[in-house]
Amino acid sequence: MQTIEEKLMEFNPLEIVCRDMYRTKHGLDHCSQWERRRQMEKFREFFPDVSGGTDGVSHVLTEEMFHMESNIVVIKHCRFLPPRLHTHSFFELFYIAKGECIHTCHSHDYRLKEGDFCFWEFNSPHEIRSYSDDFIGINILIRQNSFDSIFFELLSEQSFLSNYFKSILYGNTDHPMIIFRTGRDDLIRYYIYRIYDEFREKEPYHQNMLSNYVNTVLIILLREHIGNVITSQKPSCDQRLLGILEYIQKNYNTVTFSDVCRHFNYSSSYLSRLIKKSFGLSFSQIVQHKRMEKACWLLKETDMTVSEIAAEINCSDASHFCRIFAKEYHMPPVKFREMQTEPLPQSSKVI
């Protein structure tokens, strides 16, 4: 059975036309004038508003491309598509599943590579150039007036992270573009492929499922990759705070508050106030939450005993771990494990 990635690697009719035009334009294929005209005619079948050369591709994209009942649209980025700076009135998330491309935003070029997750504010001029057979990019498009309702719980959080995220989404910032560098995060890749497949198959309630999947991806980005962020502005105080959070999350099992103070050269009283004010949590709460996340993963994905898991996350004993876990998730660890009937598959799994 064909995997989602194999399906994405196949060239669709528009990509074939664009690749032929690219090879002709750059002298990789020798074509007659008649063949060149035929290529342009085929291109105009996809873009009827184009007159003259391919630079006439419309540069303003609107929500007309959404079906009436759709709040989320998922499409594969067209390889070899002639570049043109454009804006759009909807929200766009762009994920690089394979290969590299060049993304131009506000006259600056950014090289995007596998695992990069990019988004930008509404009406921000940008263009993407991808000229490789091996490139896979996935666009997730969301209606602007639907974003609040779809991601209400995520956006209603009153913490530094959600406020930072919202400022990027709605343009109230000096950072019109942001890139999360997720590398080879199999969980991100798995959910992106599920999003693509869910939209393609259009099973009942697929829009609801898409909302849940996209919400999950955004939460993973905020939890696991907030320290691997590139924006269109130089590092600021805000990004130093993101670095503090990333340091705590990466070293949650052994880090102490003194370690963080020493690493970032802050006094303990100042850093304590800064963390609480910025993240809405204390240092110990952040560490505990990260340990419980790890415990959840171990309960779902391994057959380790409760005592072994307690030791793995550096909890004093199994009883103490069970009390903390029950307070966090309103059920004991054993009950949580019983509810996990289907562990998350890896991205390489045939779907």
How far is 276 from 255, CA to CA, in rounded Å? 17
134 with 220, same domain: the answer is yes
Residue 298: which domain range? 238-339
227 with 242, same domain: the answer is no
81 with 219, same domain: the answer is yes
What pLDDT, on the 0 to 100 scale, is given for residue 70?
77
Of 239, 53, 244, 67, the residue nearest 141 (C-alpha): 67
CA distances from 109 to 105, 177, 263, 284 (A): 7, 12, 33, 40
Over residues 290-319, the pLDDT tens digits come to 888 889 889 988 899 999 999 999 988 899
Over residues 89-141, the pLDDT tens digits come to 778 889 999 999 998 887 788 899 999 998 876 667 788 999 999 999 999 98
94 with 178, same domain: the answer is yes
147 assigned to some structural domain:
yes
What pLDDT, on the 0 to 100 scale, is given for residue 347?
35
216 with 262, same domain: the answer is no
111 with 140, same domain: the answer is yes
Per-residue b or e along 37-52, where b marks 16 or more CB atoms closer than 10 Å to that residue's CB: eebeebbeeeeeebee
272 with 204, same domain: the answer is no
Last residue of a domain, one of 173, 204, 231: 231
CATH number at 129 reads 2.60.120.810
Over residues 43-95, the pLDDT tens digits come to 888 776 655 455 444 454 555 555 555 789 999 999 999 887 877 777 888 99
- Beta carbons of 246 and 226 less than 8 angstroms apart: yes
In this model, does residue 277 exceed pLDDT 80?
no
63 assigned to some structural domain:
yes
- Beta carbons of 285 and 215 less than 8 angstroms apart: no
Last residue of a domain, one of 174, 196, 231: 231
Cβ neighbours, 10 Å, residue 71: 20
Q: What is the pTM of this model?
A: 0.62
Partners of 231 in the β-ladder: 178
67 assigned to some structural domain:
yes
36 assigned to some structural domain:
no
What pLDDT, on the 0 to 100 scale, is given for residue 58?
44
164 with 223, same domain: the answer is yes
What pLDDT, on the 0 to 100 scale, is given for residue 345?
40
216 with 254, same domain: the answer is no
Half-sphere exposure of 171 (CA within 13 A, CB side): 9
What pLDDT, on the 0 to 100 scale, is given for residue 91?
81
Total domains, the chain: 2
331 assigned to some structural domain:
yes
Interhelix angle 237-250/268-279, rounded to 10 degrees, is 100
